[in-house]
């Protein structure tokens, strides 16, 4: 049995952390679905920026949109949604077969709206309406400024992928926002089933402390944070509050592991995937890690095996001078800044291509 199928047998969904027009056109995504048990995917501006820069696959669209006066952010949203609709349709059988639990794709709101709750909610509604696909999540960062937007978007009935979470505390704040949005819907007599996932980033922890911890602690912090977050997640699933939502027809907000590609070339290339295997979760991973895990990975209930071990490991990091609360806050701020940088680079890339293609066309 393929190791990726073993993850599904364990109860964990496997999503691809990538989308390009090339993998749609050349059958790569179809092969991942058929051969590697991939049942969803996520996207981000960096992925699209690299695809637009590195191929000519989007050139015709950029030219056609510019001829209609559609440029910049509007052009990107059109281009991205074209790809994501195709992917959503490929995952539609999974979405239907799991009654909306699995089979999702994700599209980001502009990170430039991070401190604008009303603007973020309006953008989330617009993206979801423009997508015209029931299995499309809108990604909203789980920053302190983003939490109110998560609640309002959920209340408005927009499925949300909460991104940029780095700790159990940040995860819980995002989960609370989802809970409040669903509870408000129940109180208003609306459908309680508005799907959401909460994306906790893993590998960036170990990259952040690599130079300051002893060898025996390297590549251990992200896993320990995952273990702590998973325990909080399981406690929330078992809570009376969650049970009331389920009784009203809602579904749980699933925990998603993000950034699970190994950054350290000296570590196992499937380190985080193996360690974070757990029922009722999602792992979203890049192509390289997906292929590596399919080749030589092992699927055991890693993260759920020993929660106490995670706390013991976090105590060792505290002794080594790592303040995980402060580092979580820093990682989230840095992640938000990186999103803005990627977004601006993407829009700059589209503008550059628009000018270049217009010049080439007129020559």
Q: What are the residue numbers of the active site?
A: 139
Give the H/E segment covering residue 165.
strand 160-165
283, 293 contact by CB (below 8 A) = no
4 to 12, 51, 135, 248, 271: CA distances (angstroms): 10, 26, 22, 33, 14
Beta-bridged to residue 284, according to DSSP, are 15
DSSP 3-state of 200: strand
Task: HSE, CB side, 13 Å, CA atoms: give it for residue 24.
Answer: 19
246, 252 contact by CB (below 8 A) = yes
Let me know the angle formed at the C-alpha of 20 by 14 and 22, rounded to the nearest 5 degrees: 115
Strand order in the sheet with 105-108: 38-41, 12-16, 281-285, 254-258, 196-201, 160-165, 136-141, 105-108
250, 244 contact by CB (below 8 A) = no
Q: Which two tokens stand for residue 13?
A: 């969904």
Task: HSE, CB side, 13 Å, CA atoms: give it for residue 73.
Answer: 12
DSSP 3-state of 38: strand
202, 170 contact by CB (below 8 A) = no
Instruction: Specify whether the backbone of 11 is left (phi greater than 0), alpha (psi in -120 to 50) or beta.
Output: left
């Amino acid at each position: 049995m393929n190791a990726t199928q073993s993850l599904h047998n364990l109860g964990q969904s496997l999503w691809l952390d990538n989308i390009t027009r090339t993998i749609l056109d050349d059958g790569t995504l179809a092969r991942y679905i058929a051969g590697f048990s991939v049942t969803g995917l996520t996207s981000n501006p960096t992925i699209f920026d690299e695809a637009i820069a590195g191929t000519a696959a989007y050139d015709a669209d950029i030219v056609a949109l510019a001829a209609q006066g559609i440029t910049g952010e509007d052009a990107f949203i059109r281009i991205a949604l074209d790809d994501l609709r195709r992917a959503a349709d490929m995952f539609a059988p999974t979405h239907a077969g799991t009654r909306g639990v699995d089979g999702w794709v994700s599209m980001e709101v502009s990170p430039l709206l991070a401190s604008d709750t009303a603007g973020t909610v309006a953008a989330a509604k617009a993206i979801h309406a423009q997508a015209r696909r029931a299995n499309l999540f809108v990604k909203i960062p789980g920053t302190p400024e983003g939490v109110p937007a998560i609640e309002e978007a959920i209340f408005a009935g927009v499925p949300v992928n909460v991104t940029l979470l780095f700790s159990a505390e940040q995860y819980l704040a995002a989960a609370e926002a989802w809970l409040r949005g669903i509870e408000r819907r129940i109180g208003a007599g609306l459908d309680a089933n508005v799907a959401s996932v909460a994306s906790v980033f893993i590998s960036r922890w170990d990259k952040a402390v690599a130079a300051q911890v002893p060898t025996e602690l390297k590549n251990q912090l992200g896993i320990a944070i995952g273990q702590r977050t998973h325990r909080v997640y399981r406690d929330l699933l078992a809570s009376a509050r969650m049970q009331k939502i389920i009784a009203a027809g809602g579904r749980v907000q699933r925990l998603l592991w993000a950034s699970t590609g190994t950054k350290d070339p000296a570590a196992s290339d499937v380190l985080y995937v193996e360690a974070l295997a757990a029922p009722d979760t999602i792992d979203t991973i890049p192509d390289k890690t997906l292929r590596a895990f399919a080749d030589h990975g092992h699927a055991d209930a890693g993260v759920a095996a020993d929660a106490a071990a995670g706390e013991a490991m976090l105590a060792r990091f505290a002794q080594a001078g790592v303040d995980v609360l402060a580092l979580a806050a820093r990682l989230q701020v840095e992640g938000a800044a990186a999103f803005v940088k990627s977004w601006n680079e993407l829009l700059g890339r589209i503008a550059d291509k628009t000018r270049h293609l217009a010049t080439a066309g007129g020559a």
